[in-house]
Structure 1
Amino acid sequence: MYLISACLAGQPVRYDGKAYEHAAIQKLIRQKLAITACPEMLGGLACPRAAAEISGGTAQDVLAGHAQVLTGDGADVTAAFISGAYKTLALAQKHHVQMAVLKENSPSCGCNLIYDGSFSSRKIAGSGITAALLQLHGFQVISELEFFEYLNQRSAHFK
C-alpha cells in the first residue's frame, strides 16, 4: 500500500488551491493500492492558505519544539503542521503503508528539499514535518520524482 500526497492525486489541496494529476497515481488509487492524505488539511489548515516554511531549524527541531513553521507574514502554524503529521502517521500505520510518496519542497511533505525559511524561493536539503515523522517511525518516504523514476525502472524491467 502506498500513501500519496493528496495534491499529487488531483485533489486541489495545495496551499494555493492547485493540484497535480498523474495517471500512474490515479491507477494505483483505482486499484486500491494507494491512499491519499494532505497533512496540512488534516491539521486543520484551510485551502487556499498562506505559504509556510520551516523557520529556525529542521523538521526534527519542529517536532522537538525547538523550531517553528511560519507563514510569510509571521503567523505560527506549527501546531497545525504537527497535528497533520501525526494524523498522517496514524493513517500510514492503520493501512500498513509500505511507501509514502510525498510532494517535494513542501514544509510538510518534502523529503529531500524544502524552502529555507526566508521566503526567497531558495531550497535547501531537508525534510518536511510529515516526511520526517514518517521516517522516524520506519516508513520509506520518497518524492514524486523518485517515485516516477521507480515506476519507469519497473516498467522497463517488465518489457
Structure 2
Amino acid sequence: MNKILVSACLMGHAVRYDGQSKPLAHPAIARWIEEGRLVTICPEMSAGMPVPRPPAEIEGGATGEDVLAGRARVVDITGGDVTEEFGQAAENALALATETGCRYALLIDGSPSCGSGFVYDGTFSGHRQAGNGVTAALLKQAGIAVYSDREVEQLVAGLAADEAHHAA
C-alpha cells in the first residue's frame, strides 16, 4: 500500500506560521486515514520552529530549488534569515518519507516549505509565482510525487494507476 506524506496543517493541526490550520475535507482523505496511508508532518515544526512564527518567503522571486542550491535564502518578514531551518525542515520531511515508504506527498500550496504549485515572491506583498517550496523541491528531487491541496483528484488518479500497475 502506497503511503502519503501530508502537511500537518491539512490534517487540522494548528501549526501554520499564524497558529492556524487549513483542514482539507475530501472523501479520499477520510479513506486514506482509515487505510492508514497518511504520514503527517509539519516540516517547520520538525525543525524546531515555533507556532506562531513570523511569515517567511523565499527572497528575490527565487524557488526552493534555488534555496537547495545555495542561490537564495528564506527570510522572515522581520528580515531574519531562516534558510537553515527551512533546509532542516526539508531534510526531516524527506527522512520521514523515506523511513515510512511514502512515494507520494500532499502538501499545502503557497508555503515556502510545502508549496508545489506556487510560492510567494519574497516581497511579502501577497504576489504569487509558480514554483516549489524547499521541502517540495527536495521531495521531488528524491523522486517523490508531490501534489498540492488543490490536486487531490490527481493524487487519487495517480495512486490508482500506480496500484493497478503493481497489481498486474
Fold shared, TM-score > 0.5 on shorter chain: yes
Equivalent residue number for residue 19 of structure 1: 21
| From 8, 11, 14, the counterpart of 2:10 | 8
Offset at 1:30? 3.7
Cα deviations across residues 48-71 of structure 1 (Å, max 9, x unaligned)?
A: 111000013321121122210001
Offset at 1:18? 0.7
The one-letter code of the counterpart of 1:55 is: E
What is the TM-score normalised by the length of structure 2?
0.85
The 3 A distance-change label for structure 1 pair 149 and 79 is same
| From 34, 39, 52, the counterpart of 1:35 | 39
Asked whether the equivalents of residues 69 and 81 of structure 1 are also in contact (C-alpha less than 8 Å), the reply is yes
| From 106, 110, 121, the counterpart of 1:101 | 106
Distance in 2 separating the partners of 1:89 and 1:98: 10
Supply the RMSD in Å over aligned alpha carbons. Answer: 2.0
The 3 A distance-change label for structure 1 pair 125 and 92 is same
Equivalent residue number for residue 163 of structure 2: none
The 3 A distance-change label for structure 1 pair 118 and 78 is same
Equivalent residue number for residue 74 of structure 2: 69
Distance in 1 separating the partners of 2:106 and 2:30: 13
Asked whether the equivalents of residues 29 and 35 of structure 1 are also in contact (C-alpha less than 8 Å), the reply is no
The 3 A distance-change label for structure 1 pair 19 and 152 is farther
Equivalent residue number for residue 88 of structure 1: 93
Equivalent residue number for residue 60 of structure 1: 65
Distance in 1 separating the partners of 2:6 and 2:142: 17
Asked whether the equivalents of residues 9 and 26 of structure 1 are also in contact (C-alpha less than 8 Å), the reply is no
Distance in 2 separating the partners of 1:152 and 1:39: 26
The aligned runs of 1:114-129 (5 Å cut-off) are: 114-129=119-134
State percent identity of aligned pairs: 44
Aligned residues: 155
Offset at 1:98? 2.0
Cα deviations across residues 112-142 of structure 1 (Å, max 9, x unaligned)?
A: 1000000000000000000000000100001
The 3 A distance-change label for structure 1 pair 151 and 140 is closer
Query: Within the alignment, does 1:48 sit opposite 2:52 as a pair?
Result: yes
